[in-house]
């Protein structure tokens, strides 16, 4: 199975893994990218009608914590995982990562309200075309804390 690129704005939880890997089997490979400040930068760059102002820059240290916690959870569940915090243009970073790892999909996890709003637009399709990915999947982060 080819790796998947996983775009996060908050740490993964066990319930998020149930969404990503419904059969619960380990052995998947994930390349994790975290955007400081969340997916607002990406939505803005893709011309989302609700994001007309550039978002504030996020805290790279907080993003590093999101990355560390998410990688730890993936590895605890017997998945291979590596990742990085994206400080530069997120579209360029996603394009490069998808092609470097020969990903089967880009999986973006965001807040439930953003999933609802983005699902009503062609956001995922615009992103898929911009980064030339086989597919872009959009999921909501779990509301549970661990």
Domains of the chain, residue spans: 4-140
- State pTM to two decimals: 0.84
For the stretch 97-135, pLDDT in tens is 999 999 999 998 887 777 776 666 677 788 888 888 888
- Look at residues 137, 111, 90 and name the one whose alpha carbon lies nearest to residue 11: 111
What CATH number has the domain spanning 4-140? 3.40.50
Helix (H, G, I), strand (E, B) or coil at 48: coil
pLDDT of residue 65: 93
């Amino acid at each position: 199975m080819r790796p998947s690129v996983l775009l996060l704005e908050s740490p993964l939880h066990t319930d998020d893994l149930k969404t990503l890997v419904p059969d619960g089997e380990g052995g998947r490979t994930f390349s994790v990218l975290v955007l400081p400040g969340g997916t607002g930068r990406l939505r803005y760059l893709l011309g989302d009608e609700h994001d007309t102002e550039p978002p504030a820059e996020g805290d790279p240290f907080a993003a590093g914590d999101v990355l560390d916690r998410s990688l730890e959870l993936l590895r605890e569940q017997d998945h291979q995982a590596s990742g990085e915090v994206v400080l530069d243009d997120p579209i360029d970073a996603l394009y490069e990562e998808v092609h470097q790892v020969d990903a089967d999909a880009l999986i973006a996890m965001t807040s439930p309200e953003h999933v609802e709003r983005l699902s009503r637009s062609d956001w995922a399709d615009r992103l898929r075309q911009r980064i030339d990915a086989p597919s872009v999947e959009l999921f909501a982060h779990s509301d549970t804390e661990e």
